[in-house]
Amino acid sequence: MACEYGVGILGCGNISAAYFKLIPLFKNLKAVACADINPAAAEARAAEFGVRAETVEALLADPEVDVIVNLTIPEAHFAMSKRALEAGKHVYSEKPFVLSVEEGEELRKIADAKGLRVGSAPDTFLGGAHQFARKLIDDGAIGKVMSGTAHVLGAGMEAWHPNPDFFFRPGGGPILDMGPYYVTNLVNLVGPVKRVMAMANMARTERVIGNGPRNGEAVPVSTPTNIHAILEFENGAHIALMGSWDVIANKHTNMELYGVDGALHVPDPNFFGGSVEMAQRGGKGFEAVELWDHPLTSAKFQTQDGRMLANYRAAGLSDMMAAHEEGREHRCSLDRALHVVDVLLSILKSAEEKRSVDIGTKCTQPAPFSMQEAAALMR
C-alpha cells in the first residue's frame, strides 16, 4: 500500500481552490492544512475545504505536513520554498518556481543535503492529450521534428484577476507566466533547448483592473508584454514562440510541430485535454486523431464560468511523492523546471541584449506517463 503524504497549502489565493479540489483525486495525497500571510485567506479556504488554517510558521513546523505546495506569488516562491526545505518538507511550487538559475541551484543544494524533493508546475504535459502527442512523435508518426510554432496570445490578465499586479512585474509577463506551459510541453515533446533569440516590446505602460474590489485601478507595467522568440532545440529543431498580452484577437493555434514526414497540432498546453490532429505526407491535411483512454484526458472539472475541462493539477505532485517512495526521478523535476526557467529568462535576456543566448542548464526529456502509471496514482 502506497504512503499517503500530508499536503500543506501555502498561499490561499485564486489557484488554491483548484488544488484543494484536485488533490483528493490522487491516492497518495491528503490536504491537511493551509496558511497565507493574509490569515483571512487561509481561514476562508480552510472552512471551504475542511482543513486546518495555520500561521505560515506553524504550517512549516506541522508534523502532519510532509510536502508544502507553494502557491504564493512568483516573487515569494524561492524564499518560501527555501524555508520549507529548511524545515524538512518536500516542496512542490507553482510556476515559475524560481526567478534565477542561482536560486534554483540553491534549492537543489538544500534538497539534496536533506534528501528532499523539489518539483514544479506545470504538470499539464502529463495530460492524456499531450502524452498522446508524445507517443505519436516517439512512434515516428511525423518523423523527426524540425520546426514548429507556439502562440500564447491574449489581451492580458487584468480583466479577470482581482490582484493582477504580479503579472506585470519582473517574474510575470506572458513569457514567465504562460511560457512555462509551452516550453515545458516542448521539452516533453521535442527535448531540451540549446539556444534562443528574441525581440520584445510592450503596448502599454499601465493596465487597468477590470474585476473585483480594485476595479478601475491602474497597475504599472515593468516587464515586456509582447515577445517573439526562436528556440533552437538540442535535436536541431527551430521552433517560434510568440507570447503576448497585447493581442485583442488572433486565429493562431497554440502549438504545431512540423516533422520530416508530417505535422502535429497539439492542444493548449495550459490544459490536460483537447484534440490532437495529425497530417502525414501524401494525406488530406490535418485530421483529428482518436485519443486513447488515458485517465488524465476527460473533461470533469467545472471552471468558475461553468465550462468543463480536463484538469488534473496535482498529478505532478502525486508523481513526485510516488517517485520519492520508489526511488526514481519525478517528471516535474527541479532539473526540468530550472531548464525551463533558464530558457524563459534567456528569451528576455536575448531581447534586452539584442543577441542569441546559449542555454547553460541541461535536462532530459521526461519519461512518458503511461495510462497504467497514471491510473495507479488515482483513487
Ligand X SMILES: NC(=O)c1ccc[n+]([C@@H]2O[C@H](COP(=O)([O-])OP(=O)(O)OC[C@H]3O[C@@H](n4cnc5c(N)ncnc54)[C@H](O)[C@@H]3O)[C@@H](O)[C@H]2O)c1
Beta-sheet pairing, 301-302 with 206-208: unpaired
361/182 Cα distance (integer angstroms): 18
Q: Is 44 in the site for ligand X (CB under 6 A)?
A: no
Of 358, 367, 342, give the one whose Cα is nearest residue 100: 342
Output the residue with the shortest Cβ distance to ligand X: 13
* Residue reference for cell 514526414: 261
Shortest Cβ 242–ligand X spacing (Å)? 20
Contact assessment for residue 91 and residue 103, using Cβ atoms and an 8 Å cutoff: no
Shortest Cβ 76–ligand X spacing (Å)? 4
State which of positions 157-216 bind ligand X (CB under 6 A): 163, 177
State which of positions 345-374 bind ligand X (CB under 6 A): none
Q: Is the dihedral of CA 366, 133, 24, 57 positive or negative?
A: positive
Nearer to ligand X, 157 or 229 (CB): 157
Question: Could you tell me the three cell numbers for 228?
Answer: 517573439
CA distances from 235 to 7, 114, 187 (A): 38, 35, 11
Q: Is 71 in the site for ligand X (CB under 6 A)?
A: yes
- Greatest Cα pair distance, the chain, in angstroms, is 63
Nearer to ligand X, 74 or 156 (CB): 74
Which of the stretches 14-22, 137-145, 315-323, 367-375 binds ligand X when contact is defined by CB under 6 A? Answer: 14-22
Nearer to ligand X, 281 or 300 (CB): 300
Beta-sheet pairing, 277-280 with 287-288: antiparallel
Nearer to ligand X, 137 or 178 (CB): 178
Which of the stretches 65-73, 129-137, 207-215, 338-346 binds ligand X when contact is defined by CB under 6 A? Answer: 65-73
Shortest Cβ 36–ligand X spacing (Å)? 4
Question: Could you tell me the three cell numbers for 76?
Answer: 515569494
Q: Is 87 in the site for ligand X (CB under 6 A)?
A: no
Q: Is 73 in the site for ligand X (CB under 6 A)?
A: yes
Position among 28, 72, 185, 225 found at the interface with ligand X (CB under 6 A)? 72
Contact assessment for residue 71 and residue 12, using Cβ atoms and an 8 Å cutoff: yes
Q: Is 29 in the site for ligand X (CB under 6 A)?
A: no
* Residue reference for cell 514567465: 176
Nearer to ligand X, 59 or 278 (CB): 59
Q: Is 41 in the site for ligand X (CB under 6 A)?
A: yes
Concatenated DSSP letters of 178-193: THHHHHHHHHHHT--E
- Based on DSSP, count helices (H) and strands (E) in the chain, helices before strands: 11, 19
Nearer to ligand X, 71 or 317 (CB): 71
State which of positions 283-322 bind ligand X (CB under 6 A): none
Q: Is 36 in the site for ligand X (CB under 6 A)?
A: yes
Nearer to ligand X, 20 or 258 (CB): 20
Q: What 3-state class would DSSP assign to 84? A: helix
Position among 8, 11, 262, 273 found at the interface with ligand X (CB under 6 A)? 11
Which residues on adjacent β-strands are paired with residue 220?
Answer: 206
Backbone angles phi, psi at 147, to 5 degrees: -155, 180
Which of the stretches 12-20, 47-55, 194-202, 251-259 binds ligand X when contact is defined by CB under 6 A? Answer: 12-20
Beta-sheet pairing, 308-309 with 301-302: antiparallel
Interface residue list for ligand X (CB under 6 A)? 10-16, 36-38, 41, 56, 71-74, 76, 80, 94-95, 163, 177
